[in-house]
Amino acid sequence: MSLHNRIDKRVLKEIIANDPTQRKTLSFYKYFKIDDTQAYRDRLYRDWEALGCMGRIYLANEGINAQMSVPLDNWNEWVEYLSTDSNLTNVPLKIAVEDDSKSFYKLKIKVRSKILADGLDDSTFNPWNTGRHLSAKEMNEAIAQGAIVIDMRNHYESEVGHFEGAIKPDADTFRQELKMVEEMLEGKEDEKVVMYCTGGIRCEKASAYFKHKGFKDVNQLRGGIIEYAHQVQESNLENKYIGKNFVFDERLGERISDEVIAQCHQCGEPCDNHTNCANVECHLLFIQCDACKAKYEECCSDECNDIIHLPEEAQRERRKGKQLHGDARNVFKKGRFNGRADGSISKVPSVDQMST
Residues catalogued as catalytic: 197
> What is the DSSP code string of 84-121?
HSTTTTTPPPEE-SS--S-S-SSEEEEE-S-SS-----
Interface pick for Zn ion out of 245, 263, 279, 355 (rule CB under 5 A): 279
Between 5 and 273, name the residue whose CB sits nearer to Zn ion: 273
Interface pick for Zn ion out of 178, 284, 285, 308 (rule CB under 5 A): 284
Q: Does 278 contact Zn ion by CB under 5 A?
A: no
Q: Does 220 contact Zn ion by CB under 5 A?
A: no
Between 203 and 289, name the residue whose CB sits nearer to Zn ion: 289
Nearest to 96 by CA among 20, 198, 27: 27
Q: What angle do CA 269, 273, 279 make, to 5 degrees?
A: 100
CB of 290 to Zn ion, least distance (A): 8
How many Cα atoms sit within 13 Å of 330 on the Cβ side?
A: 20
Between 92 and 349, name the residue whose CB sits nearer to Zn ion: 349
Beta bridge partners of 221: 134
Between 279 and 356, name the residue whose CB sits nearer to Zn ion: 279
Between 103 and 279, name the residue whose CB sits nearer to Zn ion: 279
Q: Does 282 contact Zn ion by CB under 5 A?
A: yes
Q: Does 181 contact Zn ion by CB under 5 A?
A: no
Task: Report the alpha-carbon distance of residue 284 to residue 319 in Å, rounded.
Answer: 15
Task: Report the alpha-carbon distance of residue 159 to residue 246 in Å, rounded.
Answer: 9
Interface pick for Zn ion out of 289, 308, 351, 354 (rule CB under 5 A): 289
Between 12 and 267, name the residue whose CB sits nearer to Zn ion: 267
CB of 281 to Zn ion, least distance (A): 8
Q: Does 277 contact Zn ion by CB under 5 A?
A: yes
Contact yes or no for 177/171 (Cβ under 8 A): yes
Amino acid letter, residue 282: C
Nearest to 220 by CA among 212, 229, 210, 230: 210
Q: Does 264 contact Zn ion by CB under 5 A?
A: yes
How many residues bind to Zn ion according to rule CB under 5 A? 11
CB of 288 to Zn ion, least distance (A): 6
CB of 19 to Zn ion, least distance (A): 28
From 134-142, 143-151, 179-187, 260-268, span contacting Zn ion (CB under 5 A): 260-268
Q: What is the distance, to the nearest Å, from the Cα of residue 325 to the centroid of all Cα atoms in its chain?
A: 16
The phi, psi pair for 127, rounded to 5°, reads: -65, -10
CB of 227 to Zn ion, least distance (A): 33
Nearest to 221 by CA among 245, 193, 244: 193
Interface pick for Zn ion out of 201, 252, 300, 308 (rule CB under 5 A): 300
Beta bridge partners of 110: 58
Interface pick for Zn ion out of 51, 91, 185, 267 (rule CB under 5 A): 267
Q: Does 304 contact Zn ion by CB under 5 A?
A: yes
Task: Report the alpha-carbon distance of residue 63 to residue 83 in Å, rounded.
Answer: 16
Q: Does 275 contact Zn ion by CB under 5 A?
A: no
What's the Cα-to-Cα distance from 127 to each of 118, 153, 181, 252, rounded to whole Å? 12, 19, 18, 29
Instruction: Name the H helices within 18-171.
Output: 37-50, 75-84, 136-144, 155-158
Nearest to 134 by CA among 206, 202, 226, 196: 196
Q: Does 308 contact Zn ion by CB under 5 A?
A: no
3-class DSSP state for residue 143? helix
From 53-61, 206-214, 232-240, 279-287, span contacting Zn ion (CB under 5 A): 279-287
CB of 356 to Zn ion, least distance (A): 25
Q: Does 107 contact Zn ion by CB under 5 A?
A: no
Between 207 and 279, name the residue whose CB sits nearer to Zn ion: 279
Binding site for Zn ion (CB under 5 A): 264, 266-267, 277, 279, 282, 284, 289, 292, 300, 304
